[in-house]
Structure 1
Amino acid sequence: MSRHPEVKWAQRADKVFITVMLSDSKDAKVNLEPEGVFSFSGTAGNNQYELKLELFDKVVVEESKINIGVRSIFCILEKDEKVWWKKLLRGDGKVPHYVKVDWDKWVDEDEDKGAGDLDLGGMDFSNFGNMGGMGGMGDMMGGMGGMGGMDEFEDSDDEGQEATKPEEHDAGTSEKNNAEASA
């Protein structure tokens, strides 16, 4: 029996980012069809994983990219029409429990500057292009390359503030503070 891996997604006006969260995957195969059908299969440990997502709209297979890494399979799918999708999957059904928003990559529609604002951490991408929507991606295994640093955390709200140790409250300290406050 096959299982469903966790899938995270985000979008820009021209792209959809899909990350299949599956550590140490073997025989990973990804198939993308122009009609907007995304399929994945692979194994991890003693388990077989599969999924098929019918995306909200069409995609351009030749311009879409994939990176199969140690911890995940990251895909950048080029949208056929450069418009924001109101959701990832077509149909009116409920989104499967294993499909989640990737808040690390998410931007709101009015803040969209294109994929240029996304740090891909030096990932080596292979093109879906020569696949023509047929077959798997098993032979397109690639390393993650450098994962990059923790750059996304540099804009912390606490920047420039030092952590301070709380003062110990004993009788001497309290009396001293009270005396200074009344002076």
Structure 2
Amino acid sequence: MSRHPEVKWAQRVDKVFLTVLLPDAKDAKVKLEPDGTFSFSASAGAENHQYELKLDLFDKVNVEESKINVGVRSIFCIVEKAEPEWWPKLLRGDGKTPHYVKVDWDKWVDEDDDTAGSGPGDMDLGGMDFSKFGGMGGMGGDDMGGMGDFDDSDEDLDLSKAEDEAAEEQDAVKAGVDTSEEKKEATTST
């Protein structure tokens, strides 16, 4: 008797991501047919249990453009759809989705957020949710967190005489000049 491996899926308007989770799979065989039939078989585990899977995907696929990568812990497939459109579900038919097929929330993008394979929709942002930052990339849109209004003008700020002297003294210290002698000369000449 064969077993079913866990499968995670996500989609974009033009492709479906399928990940078959089966660590240390041996003799993995993956077959994808243009009508959308996805077949998988492999053995795994210490007792070499046989795993098999057949999924009738919602619609037709482009076999030539699809990619499959057999890794140590999983088999990752990028299945290109024949027609770029959102599928209402992964599998065709009216039956309930099998318990071993789950949504891959790490790769999931909502239809409204999809950018058809270009831009932020396909980037790995390390799980960061930028929606909480508002419209200014972390600055918070209209509410600037009580920072008040700022004038964008380029007006110069007037520093007091003491601040000017402190700044000059710091510059002189950096240059290695003894400012105490300069101050004595300045006070005696005035």
Q: With structure 2 as the length reference, what TM-score do the two structures score?
A: 0.64
The one-character-per-residue Cα deviations of 1:147-171 (angstroms, maximum 9, x if unpaired) are: xxxx5145587xx9xxxxxxxxxxx
SS in 1 for 2:126: helix
Which of 122, 125, 130 pairs up with 1:118?
A: 122
Query: Aligned partners of 1:153 and 1:93: how far apart in 2?
Result: 33
Matched, 1:23 2:23: yes
Q: 1:94 to 1:66 in 2, by over 3 A?
A: same
Query: Aligned partners of 2:127 and 2:8: how far apart in 1?
Result: 20
Q: How far apart are residue 113 of structure 1 and its match?
A: 1.2
Aligned counterparts, 1:39-58, within 5 A: 39-45=39-45, 46=47, 47-58=49-60
Q: Which amino acid aligns with 1:80?
A: A
Aligned counterparts, 1:49-88, within 5 A: 49-88=51-90
The one-character-per-residue Cα deviations of 1:8-27 (angstroms, maximum 9, x if unpaired) are: 00000000000000001000
Matched, 1:102 2:104: yes
The one-character-per-residue Cα deviations of 1:74-128 (angstroms, maximum 9, x if unpaired) are: 00001011000000000000000000000000000000013344358xxxxxxxx
The one-character-per-residue Cα deviations of 1:122-145 (angstroms, maximum 9, x if unpaired) are: xxxxxxxxxxxxxxxxxxxxxxxx
Q: Which amino acid aligns with 2:52?
A: E
Aligned residues: percent identity? 72
Q: How many correspondences in the alignment? A: 129
Query: Aligned partners of 1:4 and 1:58: how far apart in 2?
Result: 23
Q: Where do 5+ consecutive residues of structure 1 fail to align?
A: 121-150, 161-183
Misfit runs of 4+, over 3 Å: 153-157
Q: Where do 5+ consecutive residues of structure 2 fail to align?
A: 133-137, 139-190
Q: RMSD in angstroms over aligned alpha carbons? A: 1.9
Query: Aligned partners of 2:73 and 2:15: how far apart in 1?
Result: 22
Higher helix content, 1 or 2: 2
Q: 1:86 to 1:154 in 2, by over 3 A?
A: closer
